[in-house]
Structure 1
Amino acid sequence: MTKQSHDNDVAFIQALAELLNRNELTEISVVREYGEDDSLEVRVVKQATVVAAPVAAAPAPAAAAAATPAAAPAEADPARLPGAVTSPMVGTAYLAPEPGAQAFVKVGDVVKEGQTLLIIEAMKTMNHIPSPRAGTVKRVLIDDGAPVEYGGALMIVE
C-alpha cells in the first residue's frame, strides 16, 4: 500500500465520519472497490456516551416519588423490554418476503427459535432475521419498509 493510497483511505474514512455526524446517523458501512482483488471495507459507528449526573441530597419521600416516573426507562427504550428482538444491523426492514405477500409473523403467532421474523435489507442484501427464542409475538414495533438502526427494537417475542 502506498502512502498516497493510505492518505486517500484516511480522507475517505474522515468523510464518512463527517457524513455520520451531519446526518445524525449511528452507523455507516461501506465497501470501496479498487480492483479485482483489492478493496477497503469500512464500518464507522458512533457510540453514545452516558454521563451520570451527581446525586444530590435525598429529597422528601413525596418529592422523590413525584420526580421518578416508574415505567419511563423501559417504555423510553423498547429494546430493553423483556423479549425484545433487536436489529443486528442498519437497513430497511420488511415484514413479508415480497411486496403484497403475507407477513412472516403477526401479533399472536407462536414462533420457534430460528424461525424468520422479518428481513432487513442492507447494502442490497436481504438478511433474514431469526427469532432468538421460541414464544409468542406480542408486539411488532416497526412498519414494513421502515429504516432500522443497529440495536433498535423490532419485535417483542415472549
Structure 2
Amino acid sequence: MSKEKEKIDAAMIREMAALLDETGLGEIEYETEEVRIRVAKPGSAPVTSIIAPPAAAPAAAAEPAAAPAGDLPGTVPSPMVGTAYLTPEPGAEPFVRQGDTVRKGQTIAIVEAMKVMNPIPAPRDGTVTKIMISNGQPVEFGEPLMVLE
C-alpha cells in the first residue's frame, strides 16, 4: 500500500470513528472495490480493521443488484451489519407497523452488532409504507429495512 493511500485510509478511519461518536452507533463500514474499512466500538475502545475484499469471480460481477427495493425513494438502509429487531424486547409491541406515522429521530428498529443494540432512528417525518425485514433477521450494511414516504 502506498504512503498516499495509507494517509487517505487513516483520514477515512478518523472520520468514521468521529461519526460513530457523533451518532452513537456501535459500528460503521465503508467498502469499495479496492478496500473495506470497518470501525466498531465494542464497549468503549474502537476496533478498526482494513481488509481487502476477495476477488470476485467474473460471473458474479455480471449479476444485477439483488435489492431493487433499496432504490425506492424513502428507503431506510441498515447502517451496519448485524441482526435487525422490530421490537425493543421479545414479546413487546413493534416500534412501528406498516401505515404508522413516524417523526424524525423516532426509533423504528434496532440493529444488534457485536452485542451492542443500536437504535435506528427515522431519518425524517413520514409514514411507514413497507417493512422489508422480519424480527431477528440478519442484515447487511446498506440493506433496506423499511420505506418511509
Relative to the length of structure 2, the TM-score reads 0.60
Equivalents in 1 of 2:100, 2:107: separation in Å?
12
Equivalents in 2 of 1:93, 1:117: separation in Å?
11
1:83 maps to 2:90: no
1:93 maps to 2:89: no
**Change beyond 3 A, Cα 1:110–1:29:** same
**Change beyond 3 A, Cα 1:128–1:109:** same
Moved over 4 A (4+): 27-31, 45-49
Tell me the equivalent position of 1:42: 49
Q: Which amino acid aligns with 2:105?
A: G
| Alignment equivalent of 2:142, drawn from 138, 148, 151 | 151
Tell me the equivalent position of 2:128: 137
Residue pair 2:74, 2:148 contacting (<8 A) in 1 also: yes
Q: Which amino acid aligns with 1:79?
A: G
Q: Which runs of 5+ in 2 are unaligned?
A: 1-35
Deviation at 1:94, TM superposition (A): 0.4
| Alignment equivalent of 2:116, drawn from 108, 113, 125 | 125
Q: Which has the larger radius of gyration?
A: 1
Q: Which runs of 5+ in 1 are unaligned?
A: 1-26, 32-37, 53-71
Cα RMSD (Å) = 3.3
**Change beyond 3 A, Cα 1:48–1:85:** farther
**Change beyond 3 A, Cα 1:99–1:80:** same
Identity %: 51
- Per-residue CA deviation, residues 117-152 of structure 1 (Å, 9 max, x unaligned), is 000000000000000110000000001000000011
Number of residue pairs aligned between Structure 1 and Structure 2: 106
- Per-residue CA deviation, residues 67-120 of structure 1 (Å, 9 max, x unaligned), is xxxxx98x9521110110001000000000000000000000000011000000
